[in-house]
Amino acid sequence: MKVLWSWLLELCDLDKQPTVEEGAKALTRGGLEIEGVTDLGAGFTGVVVAEVVGKRPHPESTKLTLVDVITERGGAATQVVCGAPNVPEPGRKVLWAQVGATLPNGMTLAPKPVKGIVSPGMLCAGDELGLDDAHSGIIVLEADDPTPLGAPAQRALGLDDHLLEVNAPPNRGDVLGHLGIARELCAALRGRLVPPDANLADHLGDEGQAMTVTIADPMACPRYTARRLDGVKVGQPAGMLARRIAHRLRAVGVRSISNVVDVTNYVMFELGTPLHAFDANTLKTGEIRVSHARDGEKFTTLDKTERTLVPGDLLIRDGETGIALAGVMGGLETEVTAQTTRILLEAASFDAKTVRRTARRLGLHSEASSRFERGVDPQLAAFASARAAKLLCLVGGGTVQRTLADAYPGTSGAATATSAPAEPAVAAHAMTPGSTTVTVRVSRVAMLTGAALDAAACTDALTRLHFAVTGTGDVLEVRPPSARNDITREVDVIEEILRMVGYEQIVSTLPPLRQAPGVREPDRGDAVRQALAKAGAHEALTYAFQSAERQSHLGLTATDKRAQAIALRNPMSAEQGVMRTSLLPNLLAAVARNHSHGRPDVALFECGTVFLRRGESATDRPLTELADEQTWAAGVLAGKRATQLGTGVPYDAFDAKALAEVGIRAICGQHVAITTRASKGAVYLHPGVAGELVVDHVVVGWFGEVHPRVRARFGIEAPVFAFDLDLGKLPAAGPAKMQPIPRFPGTSRDVSLLLGTEIPAARVAEVIERANQPLVTGVRCLEDYRDGKLGAGKKSMLWSIAYRAADRTLTDAEVEAAHEAIVGSLVENLPAERR
């Protein structure tokens, strides 16, 4: 909401006039955040009001005029060269940018010869002062302009003013007009609200024709008032008042349309009540009806668009014919035009949700609809109508009929009202309490705020906001102003009290610890994150959504749940179209990005949520239940690991395996048995360099080299190694239990084997374990050697087996016996030859 500082001050009676900064601060402190203050006149300096006292053609050019101007009555005239075609006759005032003036385009004026005659500055056009794009001529002030000579041009242009950008909370429909904000400012600074003049005594015409207003659904339209004006002349704003109205509207961002429309807009910005003016000559019946549209009913709005309505939409009707879409937009047929002489002025209040739904459905958001959507005070309608009628008479020269048709079923109970004589002076009901009564306990105020506020303090705070308060003990009966539709409960009133007292007045206390905090399982993700970072990878965070295309880069089969990503209905772009089902695509994209930055060596991991469909829900159906959100950890390694000297050691699949095991051990404990087997299931991995990790007979993750085709899709040219772990599948370890420290020395024996290359190391370890020799305490592979000289399909492996007994020093003989038994089993079961 844009607020003009001069307009706001006009509605306040303050003991000491605040600066705009003080005003902004007071409003912000009270909860109306001022997001910006703009000095409207900041665009230029050194431009003054001057009067033309003489003019003659430039001797060298027919297009140029020499103009004599003065800046004080009886002062010496200065000759300025002017190229505009509209230099006025002597006696009119223009805006003279003197030597030294600065203009919005950054120019500083200096004396400048124009066709041989030096001009001390220039007479300004609108575009030169940044006011508009018009360069058809210089600005000539109206003949009745009261600005004194020599005054800054800002004053004549209404630019010695500030514009405040108010961030109005969505529940505060009452501050969408200057009056509502003035009420806040007066409350904050203990001033008095001054409602604008709405006295119609000087403008009354005859009784006029009787009119009836009928509201079919008082829930949808709590109040509707209609008033007729006669003899109005519609036209461009003329005269000081009309020009000031147009100027103020421009300042708050509204285009001037005609004197009549400008007035309705002006009152909307002044009071917050949207108004509508119908051309009364186009109305056929004397009956205004407010009722819902029929399904499929057609209606053409002001913007010349035919709309098809639904029963939820609310129409204003002339008899049966729709003439306005309530609160959203008027109809084309009844629009005020240059020919209009009689006006039917509507001031009403419509249900917020009704207006919101219609505006949304039709995509018709207007200044009016945005106000109705937050709630417009029904009690203010008659006052707004009077205020607008007065201004219409002042700028359009008409008279107001003496009667007002006012259907206000909320208070009178009647949904139909016939026009009746109205008082010329209508009370500004924004300042009077509405019909809602809220009971407030002073003890509850103190309890909730933590401040010792008594009944007097509460009453003072509320009275400043025009709340009516009765009662002096613990229980106060409070009636908020009718405009404050956000106040319905005790807690709402407590907030009002608190913001008037000032949030800063509340001390800071720490609540006592009443109970030991609950016990929660440690976060698996964080345990894994810490371990992986310690193991040398950087943690990355990437978006939980990605493009469907990127998702498909992994090449998962269609039946894989991870290929059935959950799509967003309204993504910001296709790049963020589906929820991720794997952490790898975004990590691989990060590798590519780092490569493009000239960082070939990358070790990244991410630990986060992937989103899978539950059950069998198919991809083409909307989700009907929440996603299966699983926590996974994944990592990618590309380039080299740093070494002390040299250029580093290239990462390989075993670095990925190491990180995967670190992740597993972070959850399952140091001593968990992890077995590995070659994997064919991970289609995004190189078929010959892919392993799966098994804990407790469950596959918990994969590692290996990323399939060259997959990485090529990400634009990565060098090998990448990766792992992927489903943290939810990892069995959590309990606290580690101490094992006895060995008291007797152990020993070890090596065995060298010649065996087929197809036999994996894990098989060798398994055979050793199955030999079930109780003295064995450890098995290590020392060497995996491949050479054609060993024979086709053969490799040589060197293994070391450690032996120890808990209760004695082993003899050579026992060690030999155990070792030979194991070797025998290896030779027989792998099979292998002993070398």
Partner 1 sequence: MSDLSATDVTIAELDAFEVEFSRVIAPLSDEQAIRGAQAQFLGKKGKVAEAMKVLGKLPPADRPKVGAVANRIKATIESEVARRLGELAQAAAEADLARVVDVTLPARPVPAGRLHILSQVRLEMIEIFAELGFVVADGPQIETDWHNFEALALPKDHPARDMQDTFYVSEDIVLRTHTSPVQVRTMLTQAPPIRIVAPGFVYRRDDDLTHSPMFTQIEGLAVDEGLSFADLKGVLLHFVKRFFKRDLGIRLRPSYFPFVEPGAEVDMQCVFCAGPGSACRVCKSTGWVEIGGAGMVDPDVFQHVKIDTERYTGFAFGMGIERMAMLRHDINDIKFYYEGDVRFLEQF
- Main-chain dihedrals φ then ψ at residue 252, nearest 5 degrees: -90, 10
What is the closest distance, in whole angstroms, from the C-beta atom of residue 632 to partner 1 in the complex? 14
Q: What is the dihedral sign for C-alpha 678, 680, 686, 691?
A: negative
Stretch that binds partner 1, among 125-133, 189-197, 228-236, 516-524 (CB under 8 A): 516-524
Q: How far is the CB of 769 from partner 1 (least distance, A)?
A: 30
Q: How distant, in Å, are the alpha carbons of 84, 93, 119, 207 from that of 78?
A: 17, 14, 9, 58
Angle at CA of residue 760, ends 754 and 762, nearest 5° = 115
Residue 445, classed as helix, strand or coil, is helix
Near partner 1 by CB under 8 A: residue from 42, 238, 425, 506: 506
Whether cis (ω within 30° of 0) applies to the bond prior to 687 is no
Of 169 and 793, CB closest to partner 1: 169
Contact with partner 1 (CB under 8 A) among 16, 73, 304, 520 = 520
Residue from 93, 243, 371, 374 in contact with partner 1 (CB under 8 A): 374
Report the alpha-carbon distance of residue 318 to residue 302 in Å, rounded.
Answer: 16
Q: Answer yes or no: are the C-beta atoms of 99 and 57 closer than 8 Å.
A: no
Beta bridge partners of 649: 641
Shortest distance in whole angstroms from residue 480 CB to partner 1: 14
Name beta bridge partners: 52. 69
Would you count residue 498 as binding partner 1 (CB under 8 A)?
A: yes
Q: Which stretch binds partner 1 (CB under 8 A): 37-45, 235-243, 448-456, 792-800?
A: 448-456
| 763 is a contact residue toward partner 1 (CB under 8 A) | no
Among 295, 421, 503, 647, which residue interacts with partner 1 (rule: CB under 8 A)? 503
Among 125, 540, 660, 727, binds partner 1 (CB under 8 A): 540
Rounded to a whole number of angstroms, the minimum distance from the CB of residue 34 to partner 1 is 11
Of these, 296, 413, 517, 774, which contacts partner 1 (CB under 8 A)? 517
Among 508, 557, 559, 739, binds partner 1 (CB under 8 A): 508
Minimum CB separation of residue 330 from partner 1 in Å reads 23
**Min dist. Cβ of residue 732 to partner 1 (A):** 17
Contact 336, 345 (CB under 8 A): no
Least CB distance from residue 652 to partner 1, whole Å?
A: 16
For partner 1, the closer of residues 55 and 441 by Cβ is 441
Nearer to partner 1, 404 or 554 (CB): 554
If 0-12 CB within 10 Å is exposed, 13-18 middle and 19+ buried, where does residue 343 land? buried
Q: Per-residue x/- mask for partner 1, residues 138 to 177, rule CB under 8 A?
A: -------------------------------xxxx-----
Which one of 267-275, 288-296, 442-450, 745-753 is the stretch in contact with partner 1 (CB under 8 A)?
442-450
Helix (H, G, I), strand (E, B) or coil at 201: helix
Does the protein bind partner 1 through residue 509 (CB under 8 A)? yes
Q: Does 457 bind partner 1 (CB under 8 A)?
A: no
Residue 507 in contact with partner 1, rule: CB under 8 A: yes
How far apart are the C-alpha atoms of 619 and 729, rounded to whole Å? 25
Cα 721 to its chain centre, rounded Å, is: 40
* CB of 491 or CB of 781, closer to partner 1: 491
The residue within the footprint of partner 1, chosen from 143, 201, 338, 510 (CB under 8 A), is: 510
β-partners of residue 612 are 628
Contact call for residue 536 and partner 1 (CB under 8 A):
yes
Site for partner 1 contains 137 (CB under 8 A): no
Residue 129 beta carbon to partner 1: minimum distance, rounded to whole angstroms:
27
The answer to whether 695 and 730 are in contact (CB under 8 A) is yes
Distances in whole angstroms, Cα of residue 327 to Cα of each of 48, 276, 350, 416, 491: 44, 9, 7, 19, 31
Q: Which of residues 170-209 bind partner 1 (CB under 8 A)?
A: 170-172
> Residue 420's beta-bridge partner residues?
404
Among 341, 432, 542, 630, binds partner 1 (CB under 8 A): 542
Closest among 97, 102, 195 to 139, alpha carbons compared:
97
Chain centroid to CA 713: 35
Q: Report the nearest approach of partner 1 to the CB of residue 319 (Å).
A: 31
Return the range that interacts with partner 1 (CB under 8 A); candidates 377-385, 513-521, 734-742, 767-775: 513-521
Please list every residue from 310 through 369 that binds partner 1, using CB under 8 A.
Answer: 352-353, 356-357
* Interface pick for partner 1 out of 91, 413, 473, 518 (rule CB under 8 A): 518
Q: How far is the CB of 265 from partner 1 (least distance, A)?
A: 22
Cβ nearer to partner 1, comparing 336 with 602: 602
Q: Is 504 a residue that touches partner 1 (CB under 8 A)?
A: yes
Report how many residues bind partner 1 under the rule CB under 8 A: 94
Burial class (CB in 10 A: 0-12, 13-18, 19+), 493: buried
Are 604 and 537 in contact by the 8 Å Cβ rule? The answer is: yes
553-612 positions binding partner 1, by CB under 8 A = 566-572, 576, 579, 586-587, 589-590, 593-594, 597, 599, 602-606, 609, 611
Residue type, 154: Q
- Local structure of 114: helix, strand or coil: strand
Q: Which is nearer to partner 1, 623 or 699 (CB)?
A: 623
What does the DSSP assignment read for 305-368? Answer: -EEE--TTSEEEEETTEEEEETTTEEBSTT---TT---EEEEEEE--HHHHHHHHHHHT---HH
CB 487 within 8 A of CB 436: yes
Q: Longest C-alpha distance within the chain, in Å?
A: 131
Residue from 587, 594, 579, 586 nearest 548 by CA? 579
Task: Choose, by CB under 8 A, the member of 416, 449, 773, 829 that binds partner 1.
Answer: 449
Residue 73 or 569: which CB sits closer to partner 1? 569
Decide: 606 and 539 in contact? Cβ < 8 Å: yes
Select from 10, 72, 320, 526 the one that contacts partner 1 (CB under 8 A). Answer: 526
CB of 544 to partner 1, least distance (A): 6
Q: Which of 217, 495, 652, 726 touches partner 1 (CB under 8 A)? A: 495
Per residue, the 3-state secondary structure of 255-296, as one string, reads: CCCCHHHHHHHHHHHHHCCCEEEEEHHHCCCCEEEEEECCCC
Helix, strand, or coil here: 18? coil
Q: Does the protein bind partner 1 through residue 42 (CB under 8 A)?
A: no
Structure token digits, residue 609 = 């949520």
Residue type, 719: P
- Binding residues among 643-662 for partner 1 as defined by CB under 8 A: 643-645
State which of residues 228, 276, 342, 499 lies at the interface with partner 1 (CB under 8 A): 499
Stretch that binds partner 1, among 432-440, 494-502, 551-559, 698-706 (CB under 8 A): 494-502
Please give the Cα distance from 459 to 658 (Å, whole number). Answer: 70
- Decide if residue 614 touches partner 1 (CB under 8 A): no
Q: Cβ of residue 312: shortest distance to partner 1, in angstroms?
A: 11
632 binds partner 1 (CB under 8 A): no
Of the two residues 509 and 670, which places its CB atom closer to partner 1 in the complex? 509
Range 7-36, binding partner 1 (CB under 8 A): 28-31, 33
Name the token pair of 474: 């613990």
Closest CA to 718 of 592, 627, 535, 581: 592
**3-state class (DSSP) for residue 634:** strand
Shortest distance in whole angstroms from residue 668 CB to partner 1: 20
